[in-house]
Amino acid sequence: MPTYTPPLRDMQFVLHEVLNVTDHFQKMPAYAEVDADTINAVIEAAGQFASEVIAPLNVSGDTEGCHLDPVTHAVTTPNGFKEAYKTFVEGGWPALSCDPEYGGQGLPHTVNQCLYEMCNSANQAWMMYPGLSHGAYECLHAYGTPEQKKKYMAKLTSGEWTGTMCLTESHCGTDLGMLRTKAEPQPDGTYKITGNKIFISAGEHDMTENIIHLVLARLPGAPKGSKGISLFVVPKINVNDDGSLGSPNGIHCGGLEHKMGIHGNATAQLVLEDANGTLVGQPNKGLQAMFVMMNAARLGVGGQSLGLTEAARQGAVAYAKDRLQSRALAGPKHPDKEADPIIVHPDVRKMLMIARAYAEGGRALILFTSLQIDLSLHSPDETTRKRADGYVTFLTPIIKAFLTDNALMSTSHSMQVFGGHGYIKEWGMEQFVRDARINMTYEGTNTIQSLDLLGRKVLADGGAKLKEIAGLIQEFSEQEMKNPAMHEFITPLAWAGEKLNKITMNVGMKAMKDPDEVGAVAVDYLRICGHLIYGYFWARMASVALKKVDSGDPFYKAKLITARFYFAKIYPEISMLVRTIEAGSATLMEMEEDWF
């Protein structure tokens, strides 16, 4: 069974040496008293919970899965999950970054992200229960009525209740405008909701006494398509005005999806039959409110993939150091042993380095984005808030798609390091691959994320958000070009920025004549953006490491080596992507449908 060691040193490096988060927190009244010692103490305790409480349940949870009682519609989670969740709640972890008005601890989202990464590394399926609840909390915090907040916020904050988002139906996935679930107004201002939802993560379980579902449905006479969707709170158990639990609501689990991964999480088919619900936000404006939760989920999926990349990498490194197989090509490295450990072999090292570069680059990107969320919500300066919100908007589809793509590659490489043992369940590596593959699909496929980035976040606003990011990179590059030691990192960064600028203009011109051009190149375009952003953060990390490389701490030497590996062995993918984008849509669209 794989073991997991929280990457505290690297987290602290990114937080305190690269991002200097406490300098930013001191300028925000809500976080002015959050210092480095507090952050370090919290993430150390979070790492202990992740590695000691939920990591041991990962393989067993995958083996056992969740079980549905077809008579009572109750779902039982794997052994130990419920007890681990109780420990999680008792430790106050669900409330870490929640509003103190509802019982939260009021710590930054940036700190909460460290907790989430480590828990995702330890046990993604388990972490999805509280992870989705946080999205429901954010949605109600932004759009809930005073009555809804009074009923639900404190329980969601404490973790006593969990939350879900119910979007998908069997006939419609991303195209939510096709949904058929109906909401009938009642004289008392509530609604009776009827319909069927599928793929609802954590939709039914035995870990809490109530589940708060956020459900998309149509009101009578609503406009067709996405402009006629409303959002409703539908609790599993009705909640009385005094906050006590009442009768069971008209919503139950009709089945569990049998998935290739995340077996420990109950992915439910939910049946609503005149379920009681209350409207969130304005009628027919449900997507606006739901996108608060959807965007949180997309960032969360990126974090899940970061966690899997780190966990798989650790397992592969440990195995590569221990497994004896053949001799090094340059001659025996360990002549006292019957063979050398496989970590001496160049291709094994390449696979390990790819996973390391993607894990550490992804960590820097996600923590930076989490800091921007904190700034967008709590900075006293309006310009700073607006700029930070623009960064988050632009980076969200990249985090969801780029990190999940990279996770599949990294977990696959890590499994390959094990050779034939990688396919054996007891080692735990094949589970990481299965779990990682799911992340590329849900919360909007990576193609949808790519279309969102290129179509909405770049072309639709004339490239304004892209220019903001480009300006951030350019400012850093101009400053660092004064240091000759940084040229090896800044030169490829500038080259990629120029390529992206040219591609963006060319695609925009082609799209005016043929909209299929956007669909043909969007995935490759997002991947170029991902590499440019990773390149920026690897250059930033290299800049810090260069200043401390002679300190005697091998951490900084390893960081520099990984930065050089990224630019030498991974970053050149941009050249291939440029070629495929330049090829356009012709060879994709010429084939007649009947010829496939």
Q: Which helix (H) or strand (E) holds 543?
A: helix 516-548
- Residue 239, SS3 per DSSP: strand
Q: Known catalytic residue: 443?
A: yes
CB burial class (10 A; 0-12, 13-18, 19+) of residue 478? exposed
Among 248, 191, 261, which Cα is nearest to 220's?
191
Residues 6+ apart with CB under 8 A from 238: 245, 246, 247, 248, 249, 276
Radius of gyration of the chain (CA): 24
Residues 6+ apart with CB under 8 A from 397: 298, 449, 450, 452, 453, 457, 526
DSSP character at residue 305: H
Question: Distance between CA 382 and CA 239 in Å, rounded?
Answer: 39
* 223-251: burial string, b at 16+ Cβ within 10 Å, e else: eeeeebbbbbbbbbbbbeeeeeeeeebbb
Q: Which residue has the tokens 């088919």?
A: 269
Assess contact for 446 and 401: CB atoms under 8 A. yes
Quote the strand ranges of 138-262, DSSP E.
162-166, 182-185, 191-201, 211-217, 230-235, 237-239, 245-248, 251-256
Structure token digits, residue 155: 């329980």
Phi-psi region of 566 (alpha: psi -120 to 50; beta: other; left: phi over 0): alpha
Tell me whether strands 211-217 and 162-166 are parallel, antiparallel or unpaired.
parallel
Residues 6+ apart with CB under 8 A from 323: 341, 342, 418, 419
Question: Distance between CA 26 and CA 42 in Å, rounded?
Answer: 18
Structure token digits, residue 160: 């006593």
Question: Distance between CA 461 and CA 450 in Å, rounded?
Answer: 16
C-beta neighbour count of 292 within 10 angstroms: 21
Question: Distance between CA 437 and CA 446 in Å, rounded?
Answer: 11
Question: Distance between CA 276 and CA 146 in Å, rounded?
Answer: 18
Marked catalytic residue, from 169, 443, 480, 517: 443
CA atoms in the 13 A half-sphere facing the CB of 403: 30
Q: Which helix (H) or strand (E) holds 76?
A: strand 75-76
Question: Distance between CA 361 and CA 380 in Å, rounded?
Answer: 29
Question: Distance between CA 100 and CA 102 in Å, rounded?
Answer: 5
Strand partners, 193: 183, 275
| Spacing of C-alpha 260 from chain mean position | 19
Question: Distance between CA 486 and CA 401 in Å, rounded?
Answer: 29
Question: Distance between CA 457 and CA 449 in Å, rounded?
Answer: 10
- Give the catalytic positions in this structure: 443
